[in-house]
Amino acid sequence: MACVSAFSLQRITHNGPSSLRRSAQRLHPSPASPLSFSLSRADSGALLVLRAEEESKGSQAVAVKDGEGDELAVRKEELLKCRDALRDLIDETAAFGILIRAAWHDAGTYDAKKEGEWPKKGGANGSIRFPEETSHAANAGLDNAIKLLQPIKDRFQSVSWADILQMASAVAIEMAGGPKIAMQYGRVDVDSPEDCPKEGNLPDGAAPFGDGAETPAQHLRNVFYRMGLDDQEIVALSGAHTVGRAWKNRSGFGRGEEGTNYTTGEHTDLRQDGKGYYGKEGGMSWTPRWLLFDNSYFTAVNADDDPELLKLQTDTCLFADEAFRPYALKYADSQEAFFADYSAAHKKLSELGSKFDPPEGITLD
Ligand code: HEM
């Protein structure tokens, strides 16, 4: 984010100088100088040009914007461009899995019962970008997701980390053949590592469970109820493991570089768009086509063990637990039902603990 005191003046619009100055100061106030605010939307190129000059005879700030729109239109434009850039990134890297996981781990620290104002309850607020949080054991490997997204953040400085993470996940799911999720944006980022949640909020895949739970089902309930999510949402969200792999050297589950029949060697049908996967081989997937977002997680977990596919204790309990089982069976039977419930649960997850500016959020289409 470039902190500037002077920009070139181009054109003045009906929006007027003071309204945009107020907007800029609200976004990135500079206590040092009211007119030395951060140019957070500079990347939109011709879209927004601000001029702020401090002169001996007084200061002036001039805001310029193309077209008919207002500040919101500019932000929407940036979000749309950011989404296009994420689509390109995911298309090139096929990093579907790690991006979905990174967004969930930013949001999944939320504790509905915790006292205090935002961001005390944790949640989707971009705190996972800080090494203090990526270094939590549950986040092993997610520093790679942050590195992958950093150039996008550098390019679209007005878009928060919290939005970029959640947007990348929603885009990845859609590009992998999954549902289009009714996302909203405008999340505000926490400012410093001091706002990172303490370690130990995310679920463990197997006993011994960090919360002392005796069964995987109880552990899932402890963790997800804390976020305000229910049994149906737990089962639906678990279906995200239709995509991605587990790595021995990260979570301790799955395999290492030797991989499985599904994660090493040549596979031409992994992606729903028919494109090949040229990334790193190895690890262990939950499903044979692990770059496809469909309901095959539920059929695979419910099928006889395939030694080449992963089943965590927290996966198998979805069919063993009496209250989880009807949902798991329903999703194994109907992709349509899974997509409908997944979309609703994912949207909720993606907004846990988020503060939106504007408060009603920004929708794109
Ligand atoms: C229900 C409790 C959950 C447990 C115990 C769990 C556990 C795990 C574990 C152990 C891994 C392997 C990480 C690695 O070795 O790199 C993993 C990966 C993954 N998880 Fe979960 N997870 C849970 C819920 C979720 C949810 C709710 C989502 C998304 C909504 C999700 C999305 C993913 C994805 C996409 C991957 C693959 C990452 C990759 O390919 O790099 N998980 N999860």
Instruction: Answer whether residue 52 shows pLDDT above 70.
Output: no
Q: Is the CB of 104 under 6 A from ligand 1?
A: yes
Of 351 and 69, the one with more pLDDT: 351
Return the percentage of the chain with pLDDT > 70, whole number: 81
Query: What confidence category does residue 308 fall into, taking pLDDT thresholds of 50, 70 and 90?
Result: very high
Tokens 């030797």 locate to 258
pLDDT (mean) for 117-138: 98
Pocket test of ligand 1: the residue of 96, 101, 346 to mutate, having most ligand atoms within 8 Å of its CB, is 101
Atom of ligand 1 nearest to the CA of 205: 5
Domain parsing of the chain, residue ranges: 2-65, 78-350
* pLDDT digits 0-9 by tens, 220-265: 999 999 999 999 999 999 999 999 999 999 999 999 999 999 999 9
Q: How confident is the model at residue 81 (pLDDT cuts 50, 70, 90)?
A: very high
Residue 64: pLDDT above 50? no
Say if residue 7's pLDDT is above 50. no
Rounded CA separation 209/220 (Å): 10
- The response to whether residue 271 sits with its C-beta less than 6 Å from ligand 1 reads no
Give yes or no for residue 56 having a pLDDT over 90. Answer: no
Distance CA 104, CA 99 (A): 9
Determine the distance from the C-alpha atom of residue 49 to the mean position of all C-alpha atoms in its chain, rounded to a whole number. 29
The rounded Å distance from CA 269 to ligand 1 centre is: 22
Q: H helices within the chain, ranges in order?
A: 17-27, 71-93, 96-107, 131-134, 143-155, 161-175, 216-226, 231-238, 296-302, 313-320, 325-333, 335-350
pLDDT band at 55 (very low <50, low <70, confident <90, very high): very low
* C-beta 291 within 6 A of ligand 1: no
Catalytic residue among 105, 136, 241, 346: 105
299, 311 Cβ separation under 8 angstroms:
no
CATH node for 78-350: 1.10.520.10
Mutation choice for ligand 1 from 93, 98, 104, CB with most ligand atoms inside 8 A: 104
* Contact call for residues 187 and 363 (beta carbons, < 8 A): no
Give the DSSP per-residue string, 240-292: GGGS-EEBTTTTS-SB-TT--TTTSS--SSSBTTS----S---SEESSSSTB-
At residue 317, does pLDDT exceed 90? Answer: yes
Name the closest-CA residue to atom 13, ligand 1.
246
- The answer to whether the peptide bond before residue 179 is cis (omega within 30 degrees of 0) is no
| Residue having the nearest C-alpha atom to atom 18 of ligand 1 | 246
Q: What is the pLDDT, as a whole number, of residue 277? A: 79
Which pair of tokens denotes residue 359? 């408060």
Q: DSSP of 166-234, one letter per residue?
A: HHHHHHHHHHTT-PPP---B-BPPP-SGGGSPPS--SPPSSSSPTT--SSHHHHHHHHHHHTT--HHHH
* pLDDT tens for each residue of 95-110: 999 999 999 999 999 9
pLDDT value of position 276: 80
Is residue 128 lining ligand 1, measured as CB closer than 6 Å?
Answer: no
Rounded to 5 degrees, what angle do the CA atoms 173, 273, 176 make? 10
- What angle (nearest 5°) sits at the alpha carbon of residue 129, between those of residues 126 and 131? 140
Please indicate whether residue 241 is annotated as part of the active site: no
pLDDT band of 17, cuts 50, 70, 90: very low
Residue 302 has pLDDT above 70, yes or no: yes
Q: Is the CB of 170 under 6 A from ligand 1?
A: no
Cβ neighbours of residue 2 closer than 8 Å, sequence gap 6 or more: 38, 39, 42, 157
Residue 24 pLDDT grade (very low, low, confident, very high; cuts 50, 70, 90): very low
What pLDDT, on a 0 to 100 scale, did the predictor assign at position 69?
Answer: 56
d(CA 333, CA 167): 29
Q: Is 83 in the pocket of ligand 1 (CB under 6 A)?
A: no
CA of 241 to the centre of ligand 1 (A): 6
pLDDT at residue 11 tops 50: no
- 34-48, 147-161, 266-280: least confidently modelled range: 34-48
Number of residues that make up the chain: 365
- Is the bond into 358 cis (omega within 30 degrees of 0)? yes
Average pLDDT for the chain = 85
| pLDDT top residue among 15 and 121 | 121
Can you give the pLDDT at residue 266?
A: 86
Cα–Cα distance, 132 to 196 (Å, whole number)? 7
pLDDT category, 156, cuts 50, 70, 90? very high
Report DSSP state, residue 356.
B
**Average pLDDT of span 341-353:** 98
CB-ligand 1 contact for 90 (6 Å cutoff): no
Distance in angstroms (rounded) separating the CA atoms of residues 321 and 285: 23
Is residue 36 over pLDDT 60?
A: no
User: Does the beta carbon of 255 sit less than 6 angstroms from any atom of ligand 1?
Assistant: no
Whole-number Å distance, alpha carbon 75 to ligand 1 midpoint, is: 31
- CA 46-10-15 angle, to 5 degrees, is 85
Q: Residue of the nearest CA to atom 37 in ligand 1?
A: 244
**Residue type at 329?**
L
